[in-house]
Amino acid sequence: MYADMNNDPAVETEDGRLEPKLKRTGRMTLYVRRFMRRPSAVVGLVLLIVLAFFAIFGKYLTHWTYEELDFLSLGTPPDGDHLMGTTSGGSDLYAMVVRGLGRSMSIGILSSLATTVIAALVGTAIAFFEGWFEKVGMWLLDMLLVVPSFLLIAMIVRSASGTAGWLWLTLGLTAFGWIGYARTLRTLTMSLRELDYVRAAKFMGVGSLRIIVRHLIPNLGSVLIINTVLGVVSAISSETSLSFLGLGIKAPDTSLGTLLNEGQSVIVTAPWVIIFPSLVLIALTFSMQLIGDGLRDAIDPYSKSAGKAE
Amino acid sequence: MIKYILKRLANYVVMLFVAVSMTYFLASAFMNPRSNYMSRHPAPPEASINRSLDNANINDQTPVILRYLRWLKGVVTKWDWGLAPDQSPVGSAVATRISASVQLVTIGTILSIVIGVAIGVYTAIRQYKWQDRTLNAIATFFLVVPTAVLGLFVVFGAIWLNNATGTRLFYVTGLHSYGGSNPWGYVVDFLQHIILPTIVLTIPGVVGYHLTQRTYLLDTMNADYVRTARAKGLTLNQAIRKHALRTSLIPTCVNVAFSIAGVFTGAVITETVFAINGLGRYFVTTINNNDINGAVCIAAFGGACTLGGALLADIASAWLDPRIRLG
């Protein structure tokens, strides 16, 4: 797989002038081709699409809803009526997994996107303004990293409950998730701020915000895209951890972590309550990880994981 | 060197102070101890609620700045971290739980570093061979398994094994249950308890160190000075051991130092799954009881661990990295 990276047809065609017979390949086409060449990345993408369909349309496969309790079957194993069995409280596990998957996915994706936006703006701004601004900014970032963010998120989310709880959780994950990431981006920007056209723009009197948005952030594009995808994995992990501890999503709403929490007490008597959410959760994080790794190889020209030309 | 360390230390103390103060205000804003009393039947009279809240210095009718100054005075002058809503002192509650956390986390951390770095070096030397690919695939898998899932499956497996063998090989709750006086019995009992949580703590740690150490070593293995060492006639193993490995250990050392606090938060899940009465589990209790002082005390402890780790990282990289010269 790695050996044929060298006679990469896309790379050759990119240099269209040397071989005029070939059509020039656009950048997006190139990325897509490189991504699709990796079997694991395609598997990840297919898995994610299947999961997304499951989360959106899965509820039409059963007549139970996640809020409905079936008092005639408490803690029953999977059968024709309850596709994944029921919890000890009588909820249909299938309906809950569908709902929980949707919740975990939306929390993960939303907070990862928001985290990237904030981290990109703050990280580049700190590096761009240099001088005392950079010193103070870095000190503040370090200071915010002192207290483990997990504790702070738990504090904030705890007071929120009901149906808006998941928005609070997203907010909490975002509010304390961007800090370490902003530090990394600042390090990357330190070399970008010395680029000639960035300096030229600065001396021509282009506004700082415009330079940051037009010149600096697009340069970090590949890093941002990859980290947004991988950030979903860590956001979902945090979400499930908090919900598992009973500090995140609470009933009547449900998420994969909440289901794990329910399954913990009946691990011996009703193992299906823990097995199905776990499998779905692993499939979700695994697919995002595979996609992220695939994107890294496709987009990042400096990526080492693409293999060496030898 | 001493001057450098003192300077960093002073900076970290200020940082810790600001961070803990921020946590105090956040906790006061978001946690509502009064609600503990509201759910009681019959509801206690307003005056008695206020009295017990005032006594613990967590009454939301007192301005937060006043509460903060009182709390700060207690911490600075008497090392008194305040009272929980049920009037029990927070400081001693944290102190008793530190030992359980330390027992749990120390073994896990040491094992993850040793195994993780070893696998990282092993796979880096065999880049793209089947050993590397297999171990990498396993690592990618464990990288994405959330701790809660991992913990619950380990419990599941242990119970199954206990049932299959008919003897109690592993305990899935607590750290100690042996009541006798035989020291050997005590050790065996401790091992039976600690092995499962240690597995749960070690696997993610190993994966992390494996992947990062592999990357770092691959980076330095292609460096010019390693090629020079090879050209001078050293074997590949010698060149890696004497030249590449040392440089590649610098970032790992920094990670190790910072992991002290990370392991602490990671252990929240493990402690909950295995019902170990450590700091992580206490933290969940404080949040559920709206215990502002308790939560702040744990945050302060976590912050002190982070900065202690950062200081260690500073010293370790200064010691390992020949490019860093201290004034």
Domain extent listing, chain B: 13-78, 103-289
* Chosen from B17, B30, B163, B207 to mutate, greatest number of chain A CBs within 10 A: B30
- Structural element, H or E, at residue B115: helix B90-125
What's the rounded Cα separation, in Å, for the pair B31 and B51? 18
Residues of A with CB under 8 A from a CB of B: 2, 139, 142-148, 150-152, 154-156, 158-159, 233, 236-237, 240-241, 244-247, 257, 260, 263-264, 267-268, 271, 274, 278, 281-282, 285-286, 288-290, 293, 304, 307
Choose among B18, B148, B156: nearest Cβ to A143.
B18
Measured in angstroms, the CA of B77 and the nearest CA of chain A are apart by 23
Helix ranges, chain A (H): 9-14, 27-37, 39-57, 93-129, 131-144, 149-158, 165-177, 179-192, 196-203, 208-211, 217-219, 221-244, 256-264, 272-299
Alpha carbons within 13 angstroms on the beta-carbon side of residue B176 total: 12
CB atoms inside a 10 Å sphere around CB A289: 20
Nearest to A256 by CA among A66, A73, A127, A121: A66
With bands split at pLDDT 50, 70 and 90, how would you rate the model's confidence at B261? low
Amino acid at B84: A
Closest residue of chain B to A154, computed from CA coordinates: B287
Domains of chain A, first to last: 47-58+81-299 (1.10.3720.10)
B273 contacts in A (CB within 8 Å)?
A: 264
Band of residue A306 on the pLDDT scale cut at 50, 70, 90: very low
pLDDT at A9: 46
Q: Which amino acid is at B306?
A: T
Residue A196, helix vs strand vs coil = helix
Nearest to A148 among B30, B146, B261 (CB): B261
Using DSSP, state whether B89 is helix, strand or coil.
Answer: strand
The C-alpha of B183 sits at a distance from chain A's nearest C-alpha, in angstroms, of: 33
Threshold 0.95, pTM exceeds: no
Per-residue pLDDT, A13: 46
Q: Nearest C-alpha of chain A: how many angstroms from B265?
A: 7
- Looking at the predicted structure, is the pLDDT value of residue B122 above 80? yes
Q: What percent of chain B has pLDDT over 90?
A: 19
Structure tokens given for B114: 């040793």
What is the distance between the alpha carbons of residues A242 and B301, in angstroms, rounded to a whole number? Answer: 20
Inter-chain residue contact A146 with B307, CB threshold 8 Å: yes
Nearest to A151 among B144, B146, B298 (CB): B298
Q: B23: which chain A residues are within 8 Å (Cβ-Cβ)?
A: 147, 151-152, 155
Are A119 and A185 spatial neighbours (Cβ–Cβ below 8 Å)?
yes
What is the per-residue burial (b if ≥16 Cβ within 10 Å, else e) of B37-53?
beeeeeeeeeeebbebb
Nearest CA to CA, how far is A252 from chain B (Å)? 18
End-to-end Cα spacing for chain A: 14
Q: Domain B103-289, what fold?
A: MetI-like fold (1.10.3720)
Q: How many Å is the maximal CA-CA distance in chain A?
A: 75
Query: DSSP class of residue B126?
Result: T
Please give the backbone phi and psi of residue A86, each rounded to the nearest 5 degrees, phi first.
-125, 160
User: In angstroms, what is the C-alpha Rg of chain A?
Assistant: 23
Q: pLDDT digit string (tens) for A271-293?
A: 888 889 999 999 999 999 889 88
pLDDT in tens, A225-276: 888 988 999 899 888 988 888 888 877 788 888 888 888 888 878 888 888 9
Of A144, A155, A268, nearest to B27 by CB-CB distance is A155
pLDDT confidence bin for A81, thresholds 50/70/90: confident
Judge contact between A255 and A240, C-beta under 8 A.
Answer: yes
Nearest by CB to B303, which of A139, A147, A154?
A: A147
Phi/psi-derived region of residue A81, left when phi > 0, alpha when psi is between -120 and 50, beta in every other case: alpha
With CB atoms and an 8 Å threshold, state whether A260 touches B22: no
Q: What is the pLDDT of residue A268?
A: 79
Cβ–Cβ below 8 Å for A245 and B268: yes
CB-CB under 8 Å, B31 with A152: no
B115: pLDDT strictly greater than 90: yes
Q: Which pLDDT score, from 0 to 100, does residue B10 have?
A: 93
Stated as kind and residue range, the H or E segment containing A245 is none
8 Å CB contact of B264 and A159: no
When pLDDT is cut at 50, 70 and 90, the band that residue A5 belongs to is: very low
- CB-CB under 8 Å, A282 with B144: yes
Distance of CA B77 to the CA centre of its chain: 29
A116-169 residue pLDDT tens: 999 999 999 998 888 899 999 999 998 888 888 888 888 888 766 666 778 888
Cα–Cα distance measured from residue B213 to residue B222, given in angstroms and rounded to the nearest whole number: 15
Three-class SS state of B53: helix
Model ipTM value: 0.83
Question: For A262, what's the count of Cα atoms within 13 Å in the CB-facing half-sphere?
Answer: 29
pLDDT > 90? residue B30: no
The alpha carbon of residue B226 and the mean position of all alpha carbons in its chain are separated, in whole angstroms, by 35
Q: Which residues of B touch A274 (CB under 8 A)?
A: 152, 156
Buried b (16+ CB within 10 A) or exposed e, A235-269: bbbbbbbbbbbbbbbbeebbbbbbbbbbbbeebee
B268–A241 CB contact, under 8 Å:
yes
Closest of A97, A117, A136 to residue A277, by C-alpha: A97
Measured in angstroms, the CA of A79 and the nearest CA of chain B are apart by 22
Closest-CA residue to A234 (of A123, A119, A107, A108): A108
- Which of A110-124, B111-125, B253-267 bottoms out in mean pLDDT, i.e. has the lowest? B253-267
